[in-house]
Structure 1
Amino acid sequence: MVDWLPIDEPQPSQLYLSRGKLDGVLSWFDPDEPDYDPLSVIELDGEWVLIDGHTRAFVASLAGVDELRVVHDTDDHPRELYGRCVEWCREADIRTVADLHGRLVSEGAYERLWLDRCHRAAAEGGG
């Protein structure tokens, strides 16, 4: 079911944004017509956590949008890994999508700094 959350409510689970993805979203995002696919959130320890759509959420934040279009994702996700990602974000003072400002990196750096880190964590038993 599609719902709306205040933009500062879901906790991000990602430390970086890819410049390539950002350029793509900027090319079509229209804050006056929120027809983007809903962003996936899960409930983790009583809190909504954004698990997909960080770039779209960040662009919405830049555009001054007050609410995000979300869907409660009930699939079987690696909650332990997402919990670890949330810990990393909190350690980096990333508590809202607006906090991702200054965390934009090239696609290569995104893969090296973020995706590889997640793969290592999953292999170590973090999800």
Structure 2
Amino acid sequence: MDFYRARKDDFKYVKYKKSLIHNTATIASEGQNIIGVLEYEIKNMEEAEIINFNIFESCREDLIFKGLIDEIDYWNPYLKRIIYNEDNNIINSNVLINAGFIKSSTWILSMNNNIKVFKIDIEEITPGQLIVDETKVNRVNSWIKIPEDIVITCVKIEDKIVCIDGYSRLIAAYNKGFKYVFAYLETNDDNIQFYRTCMKWCEEQKIFKIKDLANRTVTPEEHEKLWINRCQAYLNEHK
């Protein structure tokens, strides 16, 4: 059984359009079959709410639900809790309990993490990516309204804060004239040499600030060919 964030081909399984725009749907699959979907809404920098859960085949509902919850945690490790309003009547209480939810005025799953979100000036963020997918920028541009809508993932290399995830949101923020966004530091340093290399690639092309990246948006096809494939080739070579 595999769990992942919904891709373009999975959108037919997603109930709410906002889950597509915000990239907040997770998928469970087994082989070639999609067997479940969970959609959620980020309420603020501490809380997310489940808005849809659906099983498409007869299987262990509790295992699928737990796996989909773990996927939310993977993509949003800064969250402190996930909530579910039982008035929606889509999730069995035993499934919630098995996943660690506790019933209060609503169902609450407390996340055990020590990740701290901090405010950061856009000018203080060092790029680690050469180009940005323009389709993703246009998508996030439709819902980003304030700096608090943006939480990016970074690593610290020497005295630099280097972004490793969230570039479409960063470019949208820059284009909207935001002076700051919010970020958290990735604590797993297994890929730190890769991030150093990405930063070096940027320096070679004189990309030192987010403003240097703002006009380097490309089509999804170009992004995959010029950036994703380059990164994958590096990672394969340095296994």
TM-score, with length taken from structure 2:
0.50
The higher relative CO (CA closer than 8 Å, separation ≥ 6) is in 1
Correspondence 1:9-20 to 2 at 5 A: 9-20=124-135
The residue type paired with residue 34 of structure 1 is E
Q: How does 1:1-127 map to 2 (within 5 A)?
A: 1-31=116-146, 34-36=148-150, 38-125=151-238
Is contact 2:155-2:164 (8 Å) kept? yes
Q: Distance in 1 between matches of 2:190 and 2:175?
A: 29
Amino acid at match of 1:64: G
Q: Which runs of 5+ in 1 are unaligned?
A: none
Task: Describe the SS at the equivalent of 1:29.
Answer: coil
| One-letter amino acid of the structure 1 residue matched with residue 178 of structure 2 | V
Task: Give TM-score, length-normalised by structure 1.
Answer: 0.91
What whole-Å deviation, never above 9, does each CA across 1:46-90 have from its counterpart, x for those lacking one? 211111111111111111111121111212440111111000111
Q: Which has the larger radius of gyration?
A: 2
Q: CA RMSD in A?
A: 1.4
Q: Is the 8 A contact 2:122 2:180 kept in 1?
A: yes
Distance in 1 between the 2:214 and 2:184 partners? 24
Q: Any idea what SS the aligned residue of 1:113 has? A: helix
Q: Which amino acid aligns with 1:44?
A: I
How far apart, in 2, do the equivalents of 1:27 and 1:35 lie? 12
Q: Quick one: distance in 2 between partners of 1:105 and 1:90? A: 19
Secondary structure (helix, strand or coil) at the match of 1:8 reads: helix
How many pairs does the alignment contain? 124
